[in-house]
Structure 1
Amino acid sequence: MHVAREKKRLNLATKFNFLTIGVILVTAVGISIFLIRAQISHSYRNLLNHGMSVAAMMSQNSEYGIYTEDKDAIRQIVKSLAVDADVAYVCLYKNKRKLICESFQSEIKTPSLHHYKKSYRSLQMLHEEFVNKKDGLRYIDIVAPVASAIDSDSPEILGDDNGTTRQKIIGYVQLGLTKDGLRKRIRQIIVSTGYFTIICVVVGIAVTLFLTRRITLPIRDLNIATQKISEGILEQHIRITSHDEIADLAQAFNHMLGRLRDYRNQAEERTGQLVLANQKMALEIAERKRVERALEQKTKELSRSNSELEQFAYIVSHDLQEPLRKVLAFGDRLLDKCGETISSEGKEYIIRMQNASQRMKTLITDLLVFSRLRTKAQPFTQVDLTQVAREVLSDLEIKIEQTGGTVKLGDLPIIDADPLQMRQLFQNLIGNALKFQRKGGSPVVDIRACMLDDQENGSDGNAHRPVCQITFEDNGIGFNEKYADRIFGVFQRLHGRDEYEGTGIGLSICKKIAERHDGKIKAKSAPGKGATFIITLPMKQSKGGNYE
C-alpha cells in the first residue's frame, strides 16, 4: 500500500535564519561588488591621469628636439621613461613623420595616428584603448600634440585670432600604457574585499544565530503550550523572562488561558441546558412537521374540492340547459297552438315564465363561462389587443347604434395571452360601459393603453417586468367607490334587475381572466361621473404554469 510521504517541516527559527543569512549574503555581495567596481574605476582613472600627465610632460620637454629633429636629445627623454612600469611604448612624430619609437615591452604593434575618430590636429590630448593582436592584451594609447609658440601666418597655425602669439603643431607624442599594474591592483582589491566580506558574513551569521535563539525560544514555549491546549489541557502557564512584545504576548496568552478555563466551566454548565432545550425543540419540530403534513393534506383536499366544484358547476349548468330549452320551447308552442283559448291573464303568466326561463338560461351560460376559465382555457399565444378590440366592436355594432354610443380606440400592444379570454374580457367591459348609462345620454367609451415597469413580483418572481396598463373609461352612471371590491364578486349587483339587465357574473369573469394572466384589475368611479376600469397585464408570460 502506497503511503504518502509527509513533507519536511521547517520551524520558525530555521526560516528566520535562512531569511536573515540570505539578506546578509545578498547585501554583502552587493556592497562588495559596488566597492570593487568603485576601486577599479578609481584605479583606471589614476592610470589614465598618470599617462596623460607623462604625455603632457613629454610634449613640453621634446618641443625643441622635435623642432630641430635632434634624435639624441629625444632618445634621452624617451629612455627616462623606461623606469615607469606603466609605460609600454613612446613614439615621437614631427608632423606626420615618425622620428623615434621606443617599446619597453616586446611584441607591441603601435597604432597609427589615423585610427582616431576625432581629429588629432588639435591642441587637445586624445586617448583610446586597443587590443594588441600579438599578445591579445588591452593597452591605452594617448596622443599629445607638441605645439610651438611662434609668429606665423601659416594655415596650420592654431591660436586666438585677436592675439599676436599663436601656436603651431610641430609634432606629436604617442604614449602607450600597459594595464598589467592595473590588473594586479584589481586582484589585490578583489582579494582584500573578499576577505573583508567573508569576515562580515561570518560575524553577521553568528549574531543572527544568537538573536534567533533569544527571539524564538519564548515562541517555542508558546507553541508547546498551544499544542497542549489543543489536546484539552488548559492547566498551563507561560513563564515570562523578558520585557518586550513577546512578554506582552505571553501575558496575554496566560490571561486567555484563564478566560478559557472560565468559559469551559460555563460551557459545561450550559451543555446540560442545551441538551434539554434540544430535546424540547425536537419535540416541537416533530409536532410542527405533523401540523405541516396535516396542512398539506388539507390543501390538497381543498384543491381537489375546488376542482370538483368547478367540474360540478360545469356539469350542472350544462345539464340544466336541456329542461330550460324544453320549458321555453313548450311555452312558445303553447302560445302558438292554444293562444286563442288562453285568457289574457294566462298569456301573461306564460310570458313571465318564459322571461324567467330566459334569465335562468343566461345565468347558466355565465356560470358555464366562469367554470371554463381554467378547465377549458387555451394556451398563451401572441395576441394583438387592437385586433381583439376591433372584433368585439364589430360584434357590438348593433348595440352601439341602438344606444348612440361612441367608442374611442387607442393603440393597444401585442401580449402573451389567451385570445378567447381577451375577447371575453373586452366584450364584458365594453358591454357594461354601453349598458350602465344615464337616461337620455349617449355613452362614450375610451380605450387606451400605456407601458409600465412592474415593481412587484409576479408569479415568476421577476421584480422588474414590462407590463401594459389598459384603461376602459366611460361617462355612465358610475358607482360609489366603496363598492369597488364588491362588484368583482359572483352574483354581486349594485342595481335592481328591473333597472339594468344582467346576472352579476361579468366582472367576476373579468377578474378571474386577469388573475389567470398574472395580472390585476381595479375600478375607480363616483356616482354620476362614469367609471374607469384599469387592467394590468404582463407583456410576456413565464414558461411555467401559465402556459396551459
Structure 2
Amino acid sequence: MEERKKRAAELIIANIELDYQNKEKEKRAAELVIANTELAFQNQEKEKRAAELVIANAELAFQNQEKEKRAAELAIANAELVFQNQEKEKRAAELVIANTELAFQNEEKEKRAAELAIANAELTFQNQEKEKRATELILTNNELEAFTYISSHHLQEPLRKIQVFTDRINTEEHQNLTDKGKYYFERIEVASSHMQGLINDLLTYSRTRVTEKKFENFSINEVVNKAVEDLKEEIKQKKAIVKVSGNCSAYIIPSQFQQLIGNLISNALKFSKQGEIPCITIESLYTKQKTKNLPSSSDYCHIIVSDNGIGFEQQFESRVFEMFQQLHSRTDYKGTGIGLAIAKKIVENHKGIITATGKLNQGAKFDIYIPVI
C-alpha cells in the first residue's frame, strides 16, 4: 500500500516534473520558433549581405580596374609631361638661340640699312657723274663730228695737193732726181698713201653709226657676193679662192655688213702666206647662241670667215679688234690697224658679237653672231 502510495507520489512528482518539462519544452519550442524565425531573418540578412558583398566585390573589382587604368593613364601622362617639359626646355633653348639670331639679324639689318644709305648716296653721286659724263660725251661726239668734218675736208685737201705735186714730180722731174732723192720721193709717196688710207679708215670708223642707217631683211650670201665682187681685182691678183656657203637671212644694214665682210676678206688676203694660194671660206648658218655674251633663247645667224694665212698667236685674240693694233711687221704687211676695229663696231651695231681664233702659220677664223630679227 505504501509502495503504491510511494509510486503514486512519485508518479505525481513525475507528472509534475513531466508537466514542468512539457512546459519547459513548450517554452523551448516557442523560443526555438522565435530562434528559427530570427535565424531565418538572419539567413535572409546574410543572403542580402552576401548579395551586397557580391555587388560590393564586383564594384571593388571594377574600381580596382579603373584605378589600374587611371594609374596607367597617369604613367602615360607623367611620361608625356616629362616629354613636354623636355620639349619646353628645348623650345626655351631654341628661343634663346632665335632671340640671339634675331638680335644679330637686327644688327645686320641696321648695318645693311647703313650700307644701303651709303650705297644710295654713292648711287646718287654716280648718277650725277653719269649725267656729267653723258653731257661730256655729247660734247665729245660733237667734237668728233667736227673732227670728222675737218678730216674729210681740211685734212684731205692738203693731202690731195701733196699727191698731185708728187705725181707731177714723178712724171715731169723724176729723171732729174738723184738716187737718194728718188728714194726719199718714194718714201713720200708711201707715207702720203698710208695717210690717205688712215684718213679713209678713220672716216669709215666714225661714220659707222647705226642711227644713220636702215635695217633690212637681207640675204647674207648676197652681201658676201657683193663684197667679193668689190674685191675681185685683189682676189685675182692674189689668185685667191673664196668659197661661200649657207642660206642665212637677217635684219642688217647692208652697206655696213658689206664693209664688214670686205674688211675680213681684205684681212685674209693681206695676211696670206707667201707661195701659197689663199683659200677663204665664208659660211652662214642658223643657230642658238651658246656663249655667255648673248641670250641663248634667241635665234642667231652664225657667220664663219676662215683662211689659211699666217694667223696669229692666240694670246693676241683680245687685241686684234683694237684700234691701230698691228700684230705683224708694218714693212711686210701694209695697213692702218683699223679694219678689224671697224668690223667689231659694225657687229656691235647689229647687237652681235665677233670673236677671233687662230694659230701662228695655221690661219685665222672669225665667228660672228647676229640676231636673226
Task: Mark yes or no: TM-score above 0.5.
Answer: yes
Per-residue deviation, 1:344: 4.4
Matched with 2:305 is 472
Cα contact 1:456–1:464 (8 A) shared by 2: no
Per-residue deviation, 1:317: 3.1
Matched with 1:497 is 330
Cα contact 2:223–2:257 (8 A) shared by 1: yes
Per-residue deviation, 1:502: 0.9
Matched with 1:296 is 127
Per-residue deviation, 1:427: 0.2
Cα contact 2:289–2:369 (8 A) shared by 1: no
More helix by share: 2
Per-residue deviation, 1:424: 0.8
Per-residue deviation, 1:410: 0.8
1:399–1:280: structure 2 CA closer, same or farther, 3 Å change rule? Answer: closer
Question: Letter of the aligned partner of 1:314 in structure 2?
Answer: T
Cα distance between partner residues in 1 of 2:188 and 2:320: 28
Matched with 2:262 is 427
Cα contact 2:355–2:368 (8 A) shared by 1: yes
Cα distance between partner residues in 2 of 1:409 and 1:286: 58
Work out which of the residue numbers 185, 189, 198 in structure 2 matches 1:350: 185
Work out which of the residue numbers 314, 330, 334 in structure 2 matches 1:481: 314
Cα contact 1:313–1:368 (8 A) shared by 2: no
Question: Letter of the aligned partner of 2:271 in structure 1?
Answer: F
Cα distance between partner residues in 2 of 1:482 and 1:388: 31
Q: Aligned to 1:532, what secondary structure does the other structure show?
A: strand
User: Counterparts of 1:62-101 in structure 2 under 5 Å?
Assistant: none
Question: Letter of the aligned partner of 1:311 in structure 2?
Answer: E
Per-residue deviation, 1:297: 2.9
Question: Letter of the aligned partner of 1:366 in structure 2?
Answer: D
Matched with 2:43 is none
Q: Aligned to 2:324, what secondary structure does the other structure show?
A: coil
1:523–1:375: structure 2 CA closer, same or farther, 3 Å change rule? Answer: closer
Work out which of the residue numbers 143, 146, 155 in structure 2 matches 1:320: 155
Larger relative contact order (CA 8 Å, sep ≥ 6): 2
The CA RMSD measured in Å over matched residues stands at 3.8
- TM-score, scaled to structure 1: 0.46
1:471–1:288: structure 2 CA closer, same or farther, 3 Å change rule? Answer: same
User: Counterparts of 1:115-126 in structure 2 under 5 Å?
Assistant: none
Q: Aligned to 1:533, what secondary structure does the other structure show?
A: strand
Cα contact 1:453–1:464 (8 A) shared by 2: yes
Identity of aligned pairs, percent?
Answer: 32
Structure 2 residue 221 is the aligned partner of structure 1 residue 386: yes
**Deviation digits for residues 358-406 of structure 1, max 9, x if unmatched?**
1011111111111222276413221211111111111111111111111
Q: Aligned to 1:365, what secondary structure does the other structure show?
A: helix
**Deviation digits for residues 242-273 of structure 1, max 9, x if unmatched?**
xxx9xx9xxx8xx99xx89x979x979x78x9
Work out which of the residue numbers 230, 248, 254 in structure 2 matches 1:395: 230
Cα distance between partner residues in 1 of 2:367 and 2:237: 26
Question: Letter of the aligned partner of 1:525 in structure 2?
Answer: G
Matched with 1:439 is 274
Q: Aligned to 2:360, what secondary structure does the other structure show?
A: coil
Q: Aligned to 1:494, what secondary structure does the other structure show?
A: coil
Cα distance between partner residues in 2 of 1:428 and 1:324: 24
Structure 2 residue 371 is the aligned partner of structure 1 residue 538: yes
1:280–1:533: structure 2 CA closer, same or farther, 3 Å change rule? Answer: closer
1:397–1:425: structure 2 CA closer, same or farther, 3 Å change rule? Answer: same
**Deviation digits for residues 188-222 of structure 1, max 9, x if unmatched?**
xxxxxxxxxxxxxxxxxxxxxxxxxxxxxxxxxxx
Cα distance between partner residues in 1 of 2:268 and 2:243: 12
Cα distance between partner residues in 1 of 2:360 and 2:297: 36
Cα distance between partner residues in 2 of 1:405 and 1:417: 27
More strand by share: 1
Q: Aligned to 2:246, what secondary structure does the other structure show?
A: coil
1:282–1:420: structure 2 CA closer, same or farther, 3 Å change rule? Answer: same
Per-residue deviation, 1:338: 4.7
Cα distance between partner residues in 2 of 1:339 and 1:536: 52
The gaps in structure 1 that reach 5 residues or longer are 1-244, 541-548
Question: Letter of the aligned partner of 1:432 in structure 2?
Answer: N
- TM-score, scaled to structure 2: 0.66
Matched with 1:410 is 245
Q: Aligned to 1:501, what secondary structure does the other structure show?
A: coil
Cα distance between partner residues in 1 of 2:272 and 2:111: 67
Cα contact 1:455–1:464 (8 A) shared by 2: no
**Deviation digits for residues 136-173 of structure 1, max 9, x if unmatched?**
xxxxxxxxxxxxxxxxxxxxxxxxxxxxxxxxxxxxxx
Cα distance between partner residues in 2 of 1:281 and 1:479: 50
Cα distance between partner residues in 1 of 2:200 and 2:226: 21
Cα contact 2:249–2:301 (8 A) shared by 1: no
Cα distance between partner residues in 2 of 1:479 and 1:463: 30
